[in-house]
C-alpha cells in the first residue's frame, strides 16, 4: 500500500469527483475575524463534485491528499456572490403582522408573488418601514479558509444517488414501510 503522502492525482486518498471528503476548517474574513470553524474531532463531510461547497473552495480542495493542509482565499464571485445594492429593499411596516418582533439582523423567509420563498435579513427598522437585505450576509466578502483533509474515500452508489454522505458505516436507512414509489 502506498504512503498517503505519495498517492497522486486519482489515488483513493486524493480529493476527486465522487469522493466523500472529511475536512476541518477555519473561516476568516479579510479583517482576520474568525466567523466559522469545524468542531475539533468533527470534520465537515461532503461529496466532492456535487456542488455541496462554495465553488471556489471545492476547486481548491481538488487533488489534496489525506493529512494535507492548505490556506485558501475565495473571491466573492466563487463564494456568495458580489454585493448587489438593488437587493436591499424597503417595505412599509404595515405589511408585517402587528406585534411581530422586527429586529435588525433577524432572518425572514419572504414569499414573492409566485409563492417562492427568499431569505432576507432585516437591515433597518423605522416607524414607517422595514429595510430587508436579500444579499447573503457574506456577499461581497473575500473568504479565507484554513483547511486540513482528514479523510477521503469513494462515495457509495447510494450516497451518489441520494446526494449526501451517509453515516460512518456508510449505511443510511430509510423507513420504506411508509414511503410509496421507492
Does 42 map to a domain?
Answer: yes
Asked if 68 and 152 sit in the same domain, the reply is yes
* 128 contacts 4 by C-beta, under 8 angstroms: no
Asked if 45 and 112 sit in the same domain, the reply is no
Global pTM value: 0.76
Say which DSSP state 160 is in.
Answer: H
Does 66 map to a domain?
Answer: yes
Label residue 115 left, alpha or beta by phi (over 0 means left) and psi (-120 to 50 means alpha).
left
Asked if 118 and 158 sit in the same domain, the reply is no
Q: Tell me which residue range forms the domain holding 71.
A: 12-80+139-162
pLDDT in tens, 45-76: 999 999 999 999 999 999 999 999 999 999 99
Does 1 map to a domain?
Answer: no
pLDDT in the model for residue 168: 60
CATH number at residue 42: 3.10.50.40
CATH number at residue 112: 2.40.10.330
pLDDT in tens, 139-173: 999 999 999 999 999 999 999 999 999 976 444 44
Residues present in the chain in total = 182
Coil vs helix vs strand at 61: helix
Domain count, the chain: 2
Asked if 94 and 144 sit in the same domain, the reply is no
Label residue 61 left, alpha or beta by phi (over 0 means left) and psi (-120 to 50 means alpha).
alpha
Does 3 map to a domain?
Answer: no
Q: Residue written as cell 498517503? A: 4
Amino acid at each position: 500500500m502506498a504512503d498517503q503522502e505519495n498517492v497522486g492525482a486519482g489515488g483513493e486518498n486524493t480529493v476527486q469527483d465522487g469522493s466523500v471528503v472529511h475536512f476541518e476548517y477555519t473561516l476568516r474574513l479579510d479583517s482576520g475575524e474568525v466567523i466559522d470553524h469545524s468542531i475539533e474531532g468533527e470534520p465537515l463531510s461532503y461529496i466532492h463534485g456535487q456542488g455541496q461547497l462554495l465553488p471556489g473552495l471545492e476547486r481548491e480542495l481538488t487533488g489534496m491528499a489525506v493529512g494535507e493542509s492548505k490556506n485558501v482565499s475565495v473571491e466573492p464571485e466563487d463564494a456568495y456572490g458580489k454585493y448587489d445594492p438593488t437587493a436591499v429593499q424597503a417595505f412599509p411596516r404595515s405589511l408585517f403582522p402587528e406585534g411581530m418582533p422586527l429586529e435588525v439582523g433577524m432572518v425572514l423567509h419572504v414569499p414573492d408573488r409566485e409563492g417562492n420563498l427568499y431569505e432576507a435579513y432585516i437591515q433597518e427598522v423605522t416607524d414607517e418601514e422595514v429595510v430587508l437585505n436579500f444579499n447573503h450576509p457574506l456577499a461581497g466578502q473575500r473568504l479565507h479558509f484554513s483547511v486540513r483533509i482528514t479523510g477521503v474515500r469513494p462515495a457509495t452508489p447510494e450516497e451518489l444517488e441520494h446526494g449526501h454522505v451517509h453515516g460512518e458505516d456508510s449505511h443510511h436507512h430509510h423507513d420504506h414501510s411508509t414511503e410509496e414509489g421507492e
